[in-house]
Chain A
């Protein structure tokens, strides 16, 4: 639960974090206009490489930062939540998230796509047949 929560929160926080990059972009674009007007291709290329580096540095920092935040959340929150975290409750929340994930996949792959239910049924049948065959072959 904490892992999923940390992932979701970091995805939202990532948008705010990248605002740093966007404000950097606005400043760099103004400088790019000046370099272009002077025909200074080298300076423009360096400026662009710098913003490319910023994308990776900020993105990389956030990726590690969010993972670290999730880890800290586990260390801090889990011991306090022990009385609440029964297997049934965790299973309930996991099932809720799974249902949400399936609905999201339905939105992406089936809804408003002609013929998609037929192909989905084909995929389901194939998965069931494969599972049965593989289970029969298992030692």
Chain B
């Protein structure tokens, strides 16, 4: 009779799953990280070295999922390994099939939620804080330089960390119903709510930017044409940003460099 998985093994797996992408390669993606996260469970279940070797090879295989949500797949795999170690008829294909049935939808739902919605929102929260906070000073240092990035990290992790902490235990408990498990996470609802929060924050950013614009060099009495011309560099940057990202989605740094170069070149000839 093999041992059962203990709570401490799941806790160790949870902690290890935080480092899922340390050994990321295109050939196996998060496979090595998946094995690393599952290792405390496999060690418990397979004291025999040959059986442990087979299990390790099984879980070193290619896995591609979202790192924040990977714990659910790790937990589910731990449950199946436990049954297999106890003598239940669980094949390699059953385990790989369960991993695939969780990993793929979690990646498909997790990428737009965490990378495309939550991460920009967290950045926006940091920027808005820069606008909203009075500058607290320590000697001559503006503490917002520390507070705003910290708030960005806190915002991101306030949403992501509960998924990471709960993942392995929930996956282990609900391994028999992977589809219901994915549905119960309500990732689409999370994404909708965060998209709305991002839009609100964007609106606030636009309003605050224009409230803080200083037209004093143009003069408030200046005619409309002069005021519009004062906005020309802003519009130039926005146009480069919009067209650049439409043509090359995701190439934010390169597009920003292009905007910087174009603005600098124009500023030099003015």
Give me the interface of A with B, judged by CB distance under 8 Å.
1, 4-5, 8-9, 11-12, 22, 25-26, 28-29, 32-33, 35-39, 41, 44-45, 48, 51-52, 55, 84, 88-93, 95-110, 113, 115-128, 131
Contact = CB atoms under 8 A, between A and B. Distances in A.
A128 B208 CA distance: 7
B241 A102 contact: yes
Given A39-B56, A89-B270, A92-B263, A48 B124 contact: no
Contacts of B60: 32-33, 36
A126 B207 CA distance: 9
A39 B202 contact: no
Contact of B262 (A32, A55, A96): A96
Nearest to B260: A97
Given A51-B23, A119-B200, A100 B207 contact: no
A100 B256 contact: yes
21 contacts: A12-B254, A25-B24, A37-B53, A39-B54, A89-B270, A92-B266, A96-B236, A99-B233, A100-B240, A101-B237, A102-B205, A102-B238, A105-B124, A106-B242, A113-B199, A119-B196, A123-B204, A124-B207, A127-B207, A127-B208, A131-B208
B22 A52 contact: yes
Contacts of B257: 8-9, 12
A121 B53 contact: no
Contact of B209 (A45, A93, A98): A98
Given A51-B23, A107-B245, A127-B203, A1 B238 contact: no
B128 to A, nearest CB: 9
Max chain B CB contacts within 10 Å: which of A52, A84, A126?
A52
Interface of B (DSSP majority class): helix
Interface of B: 19, 22-25, 27-28, 32-33, 35-36, 39, 42-43, 49-54, 56-57, 60, 116-117, 120-121, 124, 195-196, 198-209, 211, 217, 231, 233-242, 245-246, 249, 252-257, 259-260, 262-264, 266-268, 270
A119 B235 CA distance: 23
A122 B263 contact: no
B260 A5 contact: yes
